[in-house]
Amino acid sequence: MKKQYIAMAVLVVSIIILSACGNTTDESKADANKQVDLNNTGQQIDTKTDENTTEDHDDASTVGNDEVVNERTKDDYLKKLNEMEEADRYGPAQSTTVELVEQETERYEKWDRELNEIYGLLKEQLSQEKMDSLREEQREWIVHRDETAKESSLNYKGGSMESLEYVATQAELTRERCYLLVAKYMN
């Protein structure tokens, strides 16, 4: 109960601070556009989309989920990615290593699902030539992501933090890749 009270207090203070800062959507978009320049390699990914993650839009409320996804713009996706990032940032903090690994695994899976959705949409938007190039870039990115996660986790080799560092690095690189794909390729 005490942990929930503390977490709620931290959340309220964070919201107040964000409100006081006047963080606008335009500033968030600018931050997102800065973040996408962090990585310039690629990944081949499964193009299945999760219909449950599709948000409804006021102008497309009568069409099916697939059509809503196809009508999303770069700004829509940047807004969604920013909201996902805020949820990560202000979500409840876990205290044990096992809980932290589970939390980071969920975070990685969430960002990976989003990356798959973005990639699937790009398959419909891009020309065959650009898609072929992106597919190769994505394959290289998978290798880069996994090698970077492994290298990072070796800092904790044999320790309880090794698996946490591996999945946390995968989650962070996947989050960055979502921003990059939207900024670089989406209309």
Highest mean pLDDT among 5-19, 43-57, 109-123 belongs to 109-123
Structure confidence at residue 93 (pLDDT): 87
Question: Which one-letter DSSP state was computed for residue 43?
Answer: B
Instruction: Give the largest Cα separation in the chain, rounded.
Output: 57
The mean of the pLDDT values for the chain is 75
Using the predicted structure, report yes or no on whether residue 5 has a pLDDT greater than 60. Answer: no
Structure confidence at residue 142 (pLDDT): 96
Per residue in 19-59, pLDDT tens? 444 444 344 434 433 333 333 333 333 333 333 333 333 33
Structure confidence at residue 4 (pLDDT): 52
Q: Which residue has the higher pLDDT, 44 or 76?
A: 76
Q: Which residue range(s) make up the domain with 81?
A: 2-185
In angstroms, the CA 62 to CA 118 distance is 22
Q: What is the pTM of this model?
A: 0.63
Using the predicted structure, report yes or no on whether residue 88 has a pLDDT greater than 50. Answer: yes
**Alpha carbon distance, N-terminus to C-terminus of the chain:** 47
* Residue of 113, 94, 111 lying closest to 164 (CA atoms): 94
Structure confidence at residue 113 (pLDDT): 97
Structure confidence at residue 60 (pLDDT): 33
Percentage of the chain with pLDDT > 70? 61
Residue type, 41: T
Task: Name the H helices within the chain.
Answer: 2-21, 25-35, 65-71, 74-90, 97-125, 128-153, 162-185
Angle at 134 between CA 110 and CA 32, to 5 degrees: 50
Using the predicted structure, report yes or no on whether residue 99 has a pLDDT greater than 70. Answer: yes
Tell me the mean pLDDT in the region 68-73.
57
In this structure, the dihedral spanned by the alpha carbons of residues 154, 156, 157 and 160, taken in order and rounded to 10 degrees, is -140
Name the domain count of the chain: 1
* Residue of 106, 36, 10 lying closest to 28 (CA atoms): 36
